């Protein structure tokens, strides 16, 4: 059995534009737990008050997965990690230290003996707080094997229960990676007593291939992220690793405990939260992953799926959208369908989602599962709304200058502003700027259709930059694309204000 260590909330979130607020992180953690991920790396507790709160909240929320926090090899980092993790059912302190000559000389400015002593001492220090300690040898694949084996033997003796040997910069190749782990197991025989982990980056597009090579070499844990998000070119994609092991058991002779039917939902949830879309031809979760346009392919699939599909769409949770509810449907039917789709909403969230569903059902002839998922997913990660849209009026045309009249509510008071712009969206965004009293730095704007048809929901994505350069993604849903765009902008503004308030509160 190969353990899945998911670092979407730590390594993945470090990817530009993928930052998440507390509520969003908790929602992702719940989905990871629902998938039965073995280990959830919730963050880097010492890095900021916000990360500490995230790790602590997730540790107190998750019950069926190990919750880990990253820490450098310093007493302060380890103490902070344990403080955040102590409420977890199954906590893990994850410490790391570079072992390659390049990193030791230029980054750490330490001699090999100093690195060895620090690694062993801090592993023992972490073990005093937590029985489950993971040690990662940063840039392991570019390290001297004799020295690396010495460090591995030392940290295992000091109490490490998992040793991770990362390909930190995505430099190795599958054959090299297989040989690397085989050689390390020979040089460090104590590795047979503990969990051996691989953590692969995708700089050469080999993250998944290298992870699978490590499995062939006998590692018992792989570290990965949903959709392969992460720094630079990203991390090995969890869905690809899991489905490769699931589909090719004849080759790898291993399996995971992942509920594969939750994979598509996890991918969609992360994309919706971060605003980072999955490329259409992305393996497993891309919208074209199970699409067939070629006539020969279509004919083959109609005769027998296995002709061109090596796994079923249902195995990863991808079912056909179907009309299951309409404007005459009641709350009980809606609640039942939401649960069937795998979402858990409290009474307040359900009430809001149902009200929005009824409004949508009046506008659309056909309500699909994707429509319901879009509504529910949006409600599941809402932040406190400082501003709410009350009304808008847009005048636009190819012979006039676009004008927007936006009225928003703040503290139960209506605020209305008028602005002109180069098109209806520009005018609307400028009116919002006037209302909130500050300029907005627009980082990205996208508009997509949730389903097919002229009355399809428009799904707008707006990304704005805060004063410190942090990007906030807002989404808006409506059959009116202007309303969806305005709502998305306001949602992004509310996230920015919420984050700023949290930073001020944590600084006190």
User: pLDDT tens string for the chain (508 positions)?
Assistant: 999 999 999 998 877 667 788 888 999 999 999 999 999 999 999 998 989 999 999 999 999 999 999 999 999 999 999 999 999 999 999 999 999 999 999 999 999 999 999 999 999 999 999 999 999 999 999 999 999 999 999 999 999 999 999 999 999 999 999 999 999 999 999 999 999 999 999 999 999 999 999 999 999 999 999 999 998 999 999 999 999 999 999 999 999 999 999 999 999 889 888 888 888 899 999 878 876 444 444 445 455 566 667 888 888 887 654 445 776 777 887 888 787 776 778 888 888 888 888 888 887 767 777 788 777 766 555 678 899 999 999 999 999 999 999 999 999 999 999 999 999 999 999 999 999 999 999 999 999 888 777 777 888 999 998 877 888 888 888 889 999 999 999 999 999 998 888 877 766 6
Q: Please tell me the total count of domains within the chain.
A: 4
In a domain, 281, yes or no: no
Helix boundaries (H) for 35-107:
49-61, 75-85, 101-103
Tokens found for residue 506: 């944590």
Strands 3-6 and 91-98: unpaired
Give the C-alpha distances (Å, rounded to integers) separating 66 from 79, 90, 226. 18, 5, 17
CA-CA distance, 139 to 41, in Å (whole number)? 19
User: Are 241 and 136 contained in the same domain?
Assistant: yes
User: Are 348 and 433 contained in the same domain?
Assistant: no
In a domain, 367, yes or no: yes
pTM of the model: 0.81
Expressed as residue numbers, the domain containing 472 is 388-507
Give the C-alpha distances (Å, rounded to integers) separating 402 from 419, 423, 425, 428. 9, 5, 9, 9
In a domain, 279, yes or no: no
User: Are 302 and 251 contained in the same domain?
Assistant: no
In a domain, 86, yes or no: yes
The contacts of residue 412 (CB under 8 Å, 6+ apart) are none
Tokens found for residue 256: 């995971």
Name the burial class of residue 183, with classes exposed (0-12), middle (13-18) and buried (19+) by CB atoms within 10 angstroms of its CB: middle
Name the burial class of residue 7, with classes exposed (0-12), middle (13-18) and buried (19+) by CB atoms within 10 angstroms of its CB: buried
């Amino acid at each position: 059995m190969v353990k899945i260590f998911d670092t979407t909330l730590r390594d993945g979130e470090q990817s530009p534009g993928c930052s998440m607020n507390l509520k969003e992180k908790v929602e992702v953690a719940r989905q990871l737990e629902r998938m039965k991920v073995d280990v959830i790396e919730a963050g880097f507790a010492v890095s900021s008050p916000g990360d500490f709160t995230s790790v602590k909240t997730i540790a107190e929320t998750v019950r069926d997965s190990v919750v880990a926090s990253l820490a450098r090899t310093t007493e302060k980092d380890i103490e902070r990690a344990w403080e955040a993790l102590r409420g977890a059912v199954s906590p893990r302190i994850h410490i790391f230290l570079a072992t390659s000559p390049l990193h030791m000389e230029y980054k750490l400015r330490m001699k090999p003996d100093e690195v060895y002593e620090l690694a062993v001492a801090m592993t023992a220090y972490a073990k005093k707080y937590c029985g489950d300690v993971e040690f990662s040898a940063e840039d392991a694949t570019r390290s001297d094997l004799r020295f690396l084996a010495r460090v591995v033997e030392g940290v295992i003796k000091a109490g490490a229960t998992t040793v991770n040997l990362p390909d930190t910069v995505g430099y190795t190749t599958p054959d090299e990676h297989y040989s690397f782990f085989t050689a390390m197991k020979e040089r460090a025989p104590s590795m047979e007593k503990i969990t051996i982990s691989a953590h692969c980056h995708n700089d050469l597009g080999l993250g998944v291939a290298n992870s699978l090579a490590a499995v062939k070499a006998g590692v018992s844990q792989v570290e990965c992220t949903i959709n392969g998000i992460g720094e630079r070119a990203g991390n090995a994609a969890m869905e690809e690793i899991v489905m490769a092991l699931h589909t090719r058991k004849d080759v790898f002779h291993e399996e995971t405990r992942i509920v594969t039917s939750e994979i598509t939902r996890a991918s969609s949830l992360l994309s919706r939260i971060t605003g980072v879309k999955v490329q259409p031809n992305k393996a497993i979760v891309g919208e074209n992953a199970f699409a067939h346009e070629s006539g020969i392919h279509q004919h083959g699939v109609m005769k027998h799926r296995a002709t061109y599909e090596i796994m079923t769409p249902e195995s990863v949770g991808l079912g056909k959208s179907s009309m299951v509810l309409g404007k005459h449907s009641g709350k009980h039917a809606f609640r039942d369908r939401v649960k069937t789709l795998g979402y858990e909403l409290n009474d307040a969230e359900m009430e809001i989602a149902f009200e929005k569903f009824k409004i949508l059902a009046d506008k659309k002839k056909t309500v699909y599962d994707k429509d319901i998922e879009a509504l529910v997913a949006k409600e599941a990660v809402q932040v406190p709304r400082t501003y709410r849209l009350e009304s808008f009026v847009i005048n636009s045309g190819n012979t006039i200058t676009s004008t927007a009249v936006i009225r928003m509510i703040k503290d139960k008071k209506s605020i209305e502003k008028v602005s002109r712009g180069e098109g209806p969206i520009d005018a609307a965004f400028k009116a919002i700027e006037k209302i909130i009293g500050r300029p907005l730095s627009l980082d990205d704007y996208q508009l997509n259709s949730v389903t097919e048809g002229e009355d399809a929901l428009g799904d707008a994505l707006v990304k704005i930059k805060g004063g410190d350069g942090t990007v906030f993604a807002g989404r808006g849903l409506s059959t009116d694309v202007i309303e969806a765009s305005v709502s998305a902008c306001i949602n992004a503004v509310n996230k920015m204000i919420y984050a700023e308030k949290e930073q001020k509160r944590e600084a006190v």
